[in-house]
Structures are given as C-alpha cells and as structure tokens.
Structure 1
Amino acid sequence: MTVDLTSVDAVLFDKDGTLLDYHATWMPANRAVAHALSAGDEGLAARLLARGGYDPESGRVRAGSPLAAGDLQDIVDAWATLLPARLTQDPDALAARIDALFIRHCVPTPVTALDALFDALKARGLKLGVATADSEAGARASLGPFGLLERLDFLAGYDSGHGSKPGPGQALAFCDAAGVAPERLMVIGDNRHDVDMARAARARYAIGVLTGTTAASELAAIADAVFEDVGFLTV
C-alpha cells in the first residue's frame, strides 16, 4: 500500500520500539530492574527476564511478551509468582516500586533526531501524539530530554485514563484532543498491539517499524506498510 501523508491530519506514535530503539533503551533497564528485585540472586534475575519474554540465546525480547508489549501491570503479573512473598504481599507497592525502578534505569536511545523529525511534521500542519504501554510519568521522563513534550499535542500512558492497547481508547482520545477524525489518523508502532489499536479505532493507516521487537514478516502480515524506522516520514 502507498502511504500518502497528505491524506492524514495527525500521527500517533508508539514510544518504545518506535521513537526509542527498544533493545538499546530497555534491555539495560530490564536487566537492572530484574537484578534489583532479585537482591543479588542471579538465577532469579534470569528467571524474571525469561518470564518477561527475554531470550538469552538471541539477546532479544519476544514480540508480544510482557516486556515488549505489556503495560506495568502485565509485567507485575508475569513476575509476581517468581518473587518472594515480602515483595508481593502489597501488589500496589510492588507495582510502584517496579515503575520507579524502570524510570530510574531507563536511558532512552532515540531512533533518529526526534526534535528535527517532529519539527518537520509540525511544519506540515500535522497533529502529533504518543500512545504508550508505559506509564505517563515514564513516558514524560524518557521523551522529555529530547524536547518532545512541548512538541506533542497529546501523550497517553496506560494509566492516563484512556485504557490500554490494543483497545482503541488512546487513539480515540488523541483524535478528540486534536480535533481529528479517525479516518485522518496514522498510527505508527513496532508491535501487533499498535496495529490492533489502529484497526479498533478505524485509523486510516496502521504502520509498522522495525526498531522494536517484531519481525518484518510478522508486521507485514498485519500492517498497511512496514518501514525500517520513522525516518520514512521525512522522505
């Protein structure tokens, strides 16, 4: 399918694996959080990573796994049965601790010069948003250093009140906030959850990129088009 930017008024980006290189950004953080929770138990840390979707042989996280596509609660649920009772007796405290650890250890690695990309898109009159499975606080912490927060018309995490992917809530909330019809919306992501959200919201385009955890063949089977990264927007 040919992607025609003149047929859209808004672009909604996934964050991790789309604006930020997933493995460069999150594998160091995943390891650090797993080791912090395991208190030096290397075996437990390895089991936590594996339960989250990490494959030590390939060094990559499996597409669709909790660490790749889940929100904080998905990760907490995946790890809780492996953790000692002293950590799991208060689920809310455990979730807050894991979220704080991820924010502390995340060192975001952008896939391109994001400020220049966003400026170019804004110059075309496009509304820009981010919809992520991360918390809103986590999203602000990882995107803020690149000057993106002031360039965005919308930002939503799983805890922003619009639901989680693959439901349409975040995409439809962006359309409402931006005053854009869903059929004039392009959604860009690295995961099936992003494509499913776009379809559920009846967006014009569901675009896949290869800077995350999903193989090109898998994305090509479900997305309208697949590109190496978001740089295709400025070609």
Structure 2
Amino acid sequence: MQPLRGLLFDKDGTLLDYGASWPPINREAGLLAADGDAMLAANLLRRAGADPETGQALADSLLAAGNTEELAQAWHEAGSPLGIAPLVERLDALFQAAVGRMVPVCELSALFDRLRARDLALGIASSDSAAAVSATATHFGIAPHLSFIAGYDSGYGAKPGPGMVQAFCATCGLAPDEVAVIGDNAHDMEMGRAAAAALRIGVLTGTGTRATLEPISDLCLGSIAELEIALFP
C-alpha cells in the first residue's frame, strides 16, 4: 500500500456523535414531513428506519445513511402531504439549522490540526447537503484544515457510488490508493470500495455496529479519536 496522503471523512456518526445529536432532529423531521400529524410522523419514522419514540435510527437505514432527496421521496410515497421538492428544501433547512445542536465525537479542531501537520489532505463527504457540511466545518473550527467538502447535492453523485472519493482525489491531486475513507455505515465502506480507496475505516460513533462494519472494513475503530494510533503507531 502507498503511504496515506488523504483522509476523507463522513460527517454524521463519524465527526459527530449520532446518538447524542440526531435522534431529536429525526423526530422533528418526521413531524415536519407529516405536517404536524403525530401518527403519520411515527409511521414515516418507522418507514425510514427510526424508532418514533426515541428518534434513534438503525444501521444502514434511510435516516442513517440516505440523503435528503431519497428521504423525501420515500416519505412522500408513504403519505407525506408535502411535495418532494418543498420537502427536500424544508428538510435541508432543518438539518442545516441543527448544526449548533450537534455533538462532536472529540475535539475536532485539535485532531484536524494534528492530521494536517502530517501533511495529509482532509475532506468531508456527506449525505447531508453541502451547505450543512460547510456550516458544520465552520462551527467546529475545522474549515481551514479542509481541502474538500461534498454533500449529496454537490454534483459528484450519492453514496455508495465512488464519485465523492474520485472528486476528493482529483481536487487534492491524489490517487485512490493514497486515500482512506472513514465512516459509520455500509454506504461509506461501499463508496470506498467502489473508488478503490486504500483503506476503509469504520467507526462506532454512528448507527453502524461492529457486527455490521467489521466484515466490510479494513479497520473498525471506536471513534476517530483512535485514528492516529491506528494509522501512525
């Protein structure tokens, strides 16, 4: 394997602690899509793989790994009275507005500062919108360390396709075998495999479990706080 020169991170469940951040937002999203109808909201959340009482999503479910367009399509088909386009717009606005309520898995700015000191190119590839990714990077002080940001709406295709990894490589002048993809769901690992990334690193701070991630990853870590020890012992 070539020495690593780039790290491409998923956002939710990887940089951000999913269980500490997203369950209440998921419930709000369901109620939004149901236009305030609590019974319909519960059905929509179940359809997307989340517990309507807690908002916690299952590994690799639509709310855990899908993008807003996929979610809006599914919820519209399941009875949301909102049209798909306005539902996408309103969900994206909700998710972006929730950035200040997110809980990072560690001190992100310090970690990214140390990784950049190793001359690594750093990027984020998310199923959230590019605007939400950018807002997250700014909020947590890691924007200056990033060479690449992509959301589902950036034009590189959606996970689990290889487009975001390929765009990261093209932007940073890297080959796929010089890049590690880090994420908490099968979509992230499949994206890395589709792009022939050097390493696929699963983390357990999202909805994925050791049972779902170990068989499809090269490394499975408790969190990105363990990255430096795992990659640079």
Does TM, normalized by the shorter one, top 0.5? yes
User: What TM-score, normalized by structure 2, do the two folds share?
Assistant: 0.92
Residue 61, structure 1, aligned to residue 50, structure 2: no
Q: Report what 1:109 is aligned to.
A: 103
- The Cα offsets for residues 113-147 of structure 1, whole Å up to 9 and x where unpaired, read as 00000000000110001000111011112232111
Among 184, 192, 197, the alignment partner of 1:198 is 192
Among 72, 80, 97, the alignment partner of 1:76 is 72
Residues 84, 122 of structure 1: alpha-carbon distance in 2 compared, 3 angstrom cutoff: closer
The one-letter code sitting in structure 2 at the alignment partner of 1:219 is L
Q: Report what 1:150 is aligned to.
A: 144
Q: Does the CA contact (< 8 Å) of 1:30 and 1:102 recur in 2? A: no
**How many residues were matched structurally?**
228
Among 149, 163, 169, the alignment partner of 2:163 is 169
CA distance in 2, matches of 1:112, 1:44: 36
Residue 100, structure 1, aligned to residue 96, structure 2: no
Residue 130, structure 1, aligned to residue 130, structure 2: no
The one-letter code sitting in structure 2 at the alignment partner of 1:29 is I
Residues 29, 84 of structure 1: alpha-carbon distance in 2 compared, 3 angstrom cutoff: closer
CA distance in 1, matches of 2:15, 2:153: 20
The one-letter code sitting in structure 2 at the alignment partner of 1:138 is A
User: What TM-score, normalized by structure 1, do the two folds share?
Assistant: 0.91
CA distance in 2, matches of 1:220, 1:105: 30
Q: Does the CA contact (< 8 Å) of 2:179 and 2:197 recur in 1? A: yes
CA distance in 1, matches of 2:23, 2:135: 17
Q: Does the CA contact (< 8 Å) of 1:33 and 1:105 recur in 2? A: no
CA distance in 2, matches of 1:120, 1:93: 41
Q: Give the CA deviation at 1:186.
A: 0.6
Which runs of no fewer than 5 residues in structure 1 stay unpaired?
A: none
Identity %: 47
Q: Does the CA contact (< 8 Å) of 1:12 and 1:187 recur in 2? A: yes
The one-letter code sitting in structure 1 at the alignment partner of 2:201 is I
The one-letter code sitting in structure 1 at the alignment partner of 2:88 is A
CA distance in 1, matches of 2:182, 2:98: 26
Q: Does the CA contact (< 8 Å) of 1:131 and 1:157 recur in 2? A: yes
CA distance in 2, matches of 1:134, 1:223: 22
CA distance in 1, matches of 2:111, 2:119: 13
Which runs of no fewer than 5 residues in structure 2 stay unpaired?
A: none
Q: Does the CA contact (< 8 Å) of 2:8 and 2:123 recur in 1? A: yes
When the two chains are superposed, the root-mean-square deviation of aligned CA atoms in Å is: 1.8
The one-letter code sitting in structure 2 at the alignment partner of 1:156 is A
CA distance in 2, matches of 1:220, 1:95: 33
Q: Report what 2:202 is aligned to.
A: 208
